Amino acid sequence: MFLRAVFFPSRFTEVKISEGKTVLVAKHGDNVFAIGDKCPHAGAPLIKGAVSNGKVRCPWHAACFDLKTGKSMACQKILFRND
């Protein structure tokens, strides 16, 4: 099933789909994807991570997951600067 984003309030959000089950819904380009809302490694809330280039990054240990498949994937290093 493919969803086209006509209006999306933010880059990603959590959506409750049933009692006790929530998914992370993220926009990438014109498409909207839904994957599990918790990192499988330690249960980190992915809503507190970052979405970029079709990936969501875990806020606790920086693992990345593909928005299309939910599978783990390699991430590039991020350089933080204080200017």
44-77, pLDDT tens digit by residue?
A: 999 999 888 888 899 998 889 999 998 998 876 5
Mean pLDDT of 24-35: 86
Neighbours of 77 (CB within 10 A): 5
Residue 48, φ and ψ in degrees, nearest 5: -90, 5
Give the CATH class of 12-73: mainly beta
pLDDT reported for residue 3: 44
